[in-house]
Amino acid sequence: MNEIYMDNHATTPVDPRVFEAMRPYFCERFGNAASGGHSFGRKAQEAVEGARRQTASLIHAKPEEIVFTSGATESNNLAIKGAVEAYKGKKDRLVTVSTEHKSVLDSCKRLALSGVKVTYLPVRRDGILDVGVLRSAITRRTLFLSVMFANNEIGVIQPIAEIGRVAGEKGVLFHCDAAQAVGKVPVDVKAMGIDLLSFTAHKLYGPKGVGALYVRKKDPPIRLIPLLDGGGHERGMRSGTLNVPGIVGLGKACELCQREMKPESARLARLRDELRNGILNKLEDCDVNGSQKSRLPHNLNVSFGGVEAQDMIRELKGIAVSSGSACLSTSPEPSYVLKALGAPEELRRGALRFGLGRFNTGEEVEEVVRRVVRAVKRLRKSKPSA
């Protein structure tokens, strides 16, 4: 049997069309985009600016509002730490959510060591933030609000437009980690009131090692103190030689997502529902984690009572799934996201994340259902009686 890949939240394969767009910029058009004095540099510069337009268009931004980075983790760090440093002395409080990605939570922890006050908001049992609770948490000293668009483990989509309205009313900067959402569901930074938005190429069929930070151009413009100094690239926000092939790949991936998102998302939602129904109809004591209404179309996170996720992964040889975030794959502890939802430890330990993608098929879904059901029954049968 061929291997089946259903871990598309961790990373996606590069679309062949993206790879072909990148290919010339490795060996033929290899110029430095900052070297505008000759044709090699100018060609690289033109490619970067073309990709900037493609990237901006997907999220309804202006090209000049896009800052290229190495990925969403760097974008999150730059947005949070850069804003706090830029507005230091004026406001000293951050508000975020307990289910955020570690690159957000750990950035907040680092800032807390220097005296910044951080409020971590809870979520409801379905994983969604209560906007009323958020509103009450914002004070006159609050500078910054960071809320993930869609969770990387349970796929739950937050009410981003409503959160953006609250941020605007309260006069706080609104940052959104949208690594899992961009290219999968519509994202409109203007309509949603987002000031800063992070995303990455390798979650939307582009290459690893390149991402972007949207920085809204306001009057006055949003200021960020850079994490990296040396050359003043990217409007002074991110110094360093630009990864031209990667940026071209990000731009092409964004163009494809913008064109194909609607039919692709509908197809993936159908496959996801077939996967969910196939499992739940054949197995008892299984729970879907997170809201089933406000959810990414390609995400399914299921807790299997009476089994350990790591045992399941070993049983499912040849099928790539995960027990949670790829950034925490070495941690023996059950998911902190599921803990925030109030899930008991047994169900947290038995949770598997299925992330469907562009290249999955209906036949693969049928095979995964068959293998999952067989594995769960075998593990439950072999479990010693209490």
Write out the DSSP string of 60-121.
T--GGGEEEES-HHHHHHHHHHHHHHHTTTT--EEEEETTS-HHHHHHHHHHHTTT-EEEEE
Instruction: Please name the residues in contact with 160: beta carbons below 8 A apart, sequence gap of 6 or more.
Output: 147, 149, 176, 192, 194
Q: What is the Cα gyration radius of the chain?
A: 21
Same domain, 232 and 307: no
At 121, which CATH number? 3.40.640.10
Same domain, 24 and 100: yes
At 348, which CATH number? 3.90.1150.10
Count how many domains the chain has.
2
Side-by-side strand order, sheet with 286-288: 286-288, 299-304, 351-355
List the domain range (segments joined by +) for residue 266.
4-11+260-382
| Residue 324: per-residue pLDDT | 67
Same domain, 250 and 281: no
Tens-of-pLDDT digits for all 386 residues of the chain? 589 999 999 999 999 999 999 999 999 999 988 888 899 899 999 999 999 999 999 999 999 999 999 999 999 999 999 999 999 888 889 999 999 999 999 999 999 999 999 999 999 999 999 999 999 999 999 999 999 999 999 999 999 999 999 999 999 999 999 999 999 999 999 999 999 999 999 999 999 999 999 999 987 789 998 888 887 788 878 889 899 999 999 999 999 999 999 999 999 999 999 999 999 999 999 999 999 999 999 999 999 999 999 999 999 999 999 986 555 555 556 789 999 999 888 889 999 999 999 999 999 999 999 999 999 999 999 876 54
For strands 173-177 and 142-146, give the pairing.
parallel
Cα distances (angstroms) measured from residue 358 to each of 7, 89, 167, 206, 255 = 12, 47, 34, 12, 15
Same domain, 264 and 251: no
Residue type, 248: V
Same domain, 171 and 124: yes
Same domain, 265 and 250: no
Phi (first) and psi of residue 322, to 5 degrees? -140, 170
127: its two tokens? 């994983």
Which of 108, 176, 286, 327 is catalytic? The answer is: 327
Q: How many distinct helices (H) and strands (E) make up the chain?
A: 12, 12
Instruction: Please name the residues in contact with 120: beta carbons below 8 A apart, sequence gap of 6 or more.
Output: 96, 97, 98, 105, 108
Single out the residue in 255, 279, 299 at which a domain terminates: 255
Same domain, 157 and 297: no
Same domain, 268 and 224: no
Cα distances (angstroms) measured from residue 147 to each of 139, 151, 173, 178, 289 = 17, 10, 11, 9, 19
187: its two tokens? 């994202």
Residue type, 55: T
Same domain, 287 and 241: no
Single out the residue in 205, 225, 255 at which a domain terminates: 255
The residue behind tokens 């902190």 is: 336
Single out the residue in 233, 255, 277 at which a domain terminates: 255
13: its two tokens? 């394969």
327 is catalytic: yes
Same domain, 106 and 244: yes
Can you give the pTM of this predicted structure?
0.94
Same domain, 116 and 177: yes
Instruction: Please name the residues in contact with 191: beta carbons below 8 A apart, sequence gap of 6 or more.
Output: 60, 161
Same domain, 251 and 267: no
